[in-house]
Amino acid sequence: MFDTFFTYTGQFTNYSWEHGICFVLTIIFISYVLYAGKNVWSDEKKRQYITWICAFGAMTQLFKVIVKHQTGIFDHTNDVPLHLCNLMTLVMPFIMWYKSRILWAITFFWIMAGCAQSIITPTLTETLPHYEAIRYWAVHGVIILGALYGWYVYGYQLTWKDAVASVFSLNALAAVIYPINLFLGSNYMYLNAKPPGKTFYDLLGPWPDYILSLEFALLIFFSIILIPFYWGKIKPVLKLT
């Protein structure tokens, strides 16, 4: 058991039984925490519990860095937590604890338009109970949970100004990460090449064309994400037509 926790096999397969079970369990966990946060926990516990849960996700991310460094297999081109989902995992505990609506709004679009698809088309290579598999599902589960928690439990709403701020912030972050990739020879945020395996990126064309395609795709996704928050204004217009 201990050996399987650290031994790399590269045997995870998308749309396998393991993928399906982990996906369903992640959805169940997210649903339970949202329900408890909305209907069971006190106001103080709402903030405490979600912060602890998100902190666990952050610790699994940091655990990976520590383990790889201590075992001498740390790869600066892949193991620095600079992928968007990994960055969100480290930031989410602070967003939840300080209840920062601005940061929540900016990252909500990133998570729901980008990171959420990672549980549908994982870039994971290791099977459970390997720590990398635990980290992968914990990381993506808690950031999706954090995004939905801000809306469902804290009652935050999104506006088109939030979407604009999110687009500009994401491009600013990419502008910082891209030269880091050139310096390290890495591919963080998949700015220099597509991610491995079959993912959403395969629909966007070859590199570097898919970067521009991704910008348009994000505008579409961000607009779709806004629809539920503007539905009260959109519905009367649809009735008139």
Query: pTM to 2 decimals?
Result: 0.89
Q: Which of 12-26, 74-88, 145-159, 225-239 has the lowest mean pLDDT?
A: 225-239
Report residue 171 as tokens: 């491009």
Q: Which of 14-28, 39-53, 186-200 has the lowest mean pLDDT?
A: 186-200
Report residue 233 as tokens: 């204004």
- pLDDT score, position 6: 74
Spatial neighbors of 105 by CB under 8 A, at least 6 apart, are 156, 158, 159, 162, 165, 166
Number of helices and strands (H, E) in the chain?
8, 0
Q: Do 83 and 108 meet the contact criterion of CB atoms below 8 Å apart? A: no
Segments in 71-199 forming alpha helices (H): 84-98, 101-113, 131-152, 160-184
Q: Which residue is listed with tokens 């912060």? A: 51
pLDDT, tens digit (0-9, with 9 covering 90-100), for 42-81: 999 999 999 999 999 999 999 999 999 988 999 999 999 9
